Amino acid sequence: MDNLTQGGWRKTLATLLPFLAVAFALLVPRATAQDTSLEEIENEDPWTKGDPELLKKLGIVRVGAMPWTQSHASDGVVKTLGGIPVIFIETEHFRLASTLESYRPTGDRAEKERLEAEFAALKKLCSKFTKLPPKIDPWLRAHLYAYRIERVYDQFTTAFGLKDADFLTAERKTADGRSLGQGPYLGQKNKFTVLLTQSQSSMGRYLRANFNVEPEYSFRTAWPDGYLLAMNFEALKNGGRELDQALHVALAGALVQNLLDGYRVSFQAPPNWLRYGLAHWIARQIDPRFNQWNAGGASSDPESDRTHIWEPRVLGLVKNEAATPLAKMMRWHNYEEIQPREHMLAWALVDWILTARKDTAHDLLFELAEPINDYGPTRPDKIVEQQERAFTKVWNMTPEQIDKAFQTWVEKNYKK
């Protein structure tokens, strides 16, 4: 299976390796051989004190020891990481493991506004969150990311009109007998797992042990019973993205791709224009300055750099007849094939679908995510054929007709 890292697709033969609310997280003392710069983390959550009622209000199923995947539980994660402190939080749809350390906002206005809004949302759920502190401790940071990943899930399911109840029936089939997957989590048997580490070496250690890979920024892949996203903050900081907001954006864009591939156990059947376009569509709602695909992102002066403002750039491509035709986008089989400007077009196409055609988004996704049980050389052609059938069935349109409708909408709705 191909695995998406920030730099593109990487092969690995190990991808398909088998795999109470308590008052404290699973924290194991650091091994002496580990990085001594790691921050000490309190054994007990200072915000909820492990109170079951408060955790329930926050949408938290449990903290501490928990299942993870078929091959190991949370204690296996800690062991692989060498015994460093790890905070585990389980929500309705996710299991989160975090080694993120304290973070002190630097004064970035957009980040400050979002943090205040998120903290206010937590305060509505739990009165213990009284005032956003100047330094966000590891527990609060974990709570924020637990909240954020559930927000991504809500955005994805709302955009496509998906309901948890659809996946809870014993049959998990549509009225005409088509499969919705194998389990209650968009069709997956297990909850989606997310590993956020402070250091690049910690993430690398876990991925090397389980998948024999060691990417720089992030890695997403399938377990036999679900999906994993691993990401570290150190690599982003070293790359000039030192704001927590940059990590949040990167996480959202990668996580929604796991939700997409997990839906109906589609296993990368959805086309790449939808995968990357949706990732941009979700991530840019958080902060459009931090794009991970070289189509305009944060500069040394984000306030004056306007390359992250995509509407006028897409409008220019359309007006100058330089927009990539959908027929070509349908045949994007590798990340490296996609040009920076084409990422903008994929984002705009998804924006059109989820805005102007939102009443048909559910049906379109269902058709595009039909599992294709052919992993041989003909699979790319079958993905293209599936798109053609979907456009005909849902919209009764050809790719050329879709181009015309989409571009007309761009000219009407995007401003210079």
| Highest mean pLDDT out of 148-152, 181-185, 371-375 | 148-152
Q: Rounded CA gap, 229 and 310, in Å?
A: 27
Average pLDDT taken over every residue of the chain: 88
Between 327 and 335, where is the model more confident?
A: 327
User: What is the pLDDT averaged over residues 345-370?
Assistant: 98
- Check if the beta carbon of residue 291 is closer than 8 Å to that of residue 284: yes
Q: Is pLDDT at 4 greater than 90 in this prediction?
A: no
Integer-rounded Cα Rg, in Å, for the chain is 21
Q: What is the pLDDT of residue 365?
A: 98
Segments of 7-110 assigned E as strands: 8-11, 60-63, 87-91, 94-98
* CA 27 to each of CA 90, 125, 133: distance values in angstroms, whole numbers, following the listed order: 15, 26, 24
Confidence of residue 35 (pLDDT cuts 50, 70, 90): very low
Q: Are strands 60-63 and 218-223 parallel, antiparallel or unpaired?
A: unpaired
Q: Distance (Å, rounded) from C-alpha 96 to C-alpha 86?
A: 10
Which of the four pLDDT bands, split at 50, 70 and 90, describes residue 293?
Answer: low
* Reported confidence tier of residue 164, pLDDT bands at 50, 70, 90: very high
Q: pLDDT at position 21, please?
A: 25
DSSP secondary structure of 88-139: EEEESSEEEEE----B-----HHHHHHHHHHHHHHHHH-TT--S--SSB-HH
pLDDT bin (cut points 50, 70, 90) of residue 22 is very low
Does position 292 have pLDDT exceeding 90, yes or no? no
The Cα 255–Cα 215 span in angstroms is 17
- pLDDT reading at 20 higher than 80: no
Q: Distance from first CA to last CA of the chain, Å, rounded?
A: 41
* CA dist., res. 199 & res. 203, Å (int): 7
Dihedral over Cα of 46, 48, 51, 55: its sign: negative
Task: Judge whether residue 152 has pLDDT over 80.
Answer: yes
Amino acid identity of 279? A
Q: Where in the chain are the domains? A: 2-266, 269-416
| pLDDT at site 5 | 39
Question: Sign of the CA dihedral 103, 234, 278, 177?
Answer: negative
- Given a cut of 90, is residue 342 above it in pLDDT? yes
- Per-residue pLDDT band for 188 (boundaries 50, 70, 90) equals very high
Per-residue pLDDT at 41: 86
**What pLDDT digit, counting tens, does each position of 217-234 carry?**
999 999 999 999 999 999
Integer Cα distance of 220 and 2 in angstroms: 10
Cα–Cα distance for residue pair 282/196, rounded to 1 Å: 19
The three-state secondary structure class of 386 is helix
pLDDT score for 297: 41
Cα angle 8, 13, 19; round to 5 = 105
- Asked whether the predicted pLDDT for residue 33 surpasses 50, the reply is no
DSSP secondary structure code for residue 171 in this structure? S
Residue pair 34/83 in contact (Cβ under 8 Å)? The answer is yes
pLDDT of residue 156 exceeding 90: yes
Q: Which residue has the higher pLDDT, 80 or 36?
A: 80
What's CA 369's distance to the chain center, in Å?
17
Q: Which residue, among 106, 331, 325, 98, has the nearest Cα to 194 in the 3D structure?
A: 98
Report whether pLDDT(303) > 60: no
pLDDT of 161 higher than 70: yes
**Three-class DSSP category at 231:** strand
Sign for the CA dihedral angle at 382, 386, 389, 392 comes to: negative
Helices (H), 129-191: 138-159
Q: Return d(Cα 324, Cα 208) in angstroms, integer.
A: 38
Structural contact between residues 118 and 144, judged by C-beta atoms closer than 8 angstroms? yes
Give the tens place of pLDDT for each residue, 44-100.
899 999 999 999 999 999 999 999 999 999 999 999 999 999 999 999 999 999 999
339-356 burial, b at 16+ Cβ within 10 Å, e below that, comes to eebbbbbbbbbbbbbbee
Per-residue confidence (pLDDT) for residue 17, from 0 to 100: 26
The helix/strand/coil state of 409 is helix
Mean pLDDT of 385-402: 98
Instruction: With H, G, I as helix, E, B as strand and everything else as coil, classify residue 73.
Output: coil
List the strands of the sheet with 2-5, edge to edge.
Answer: 8-11, 2-5, 218-223, 226-232, 192-197, 94-98, 87-91, 60-63
Per-residue pLDDT tens over the stretch 238-288: 998 999 999 999 999 999 999 999 999 998 999 999 999 999 999 999 999
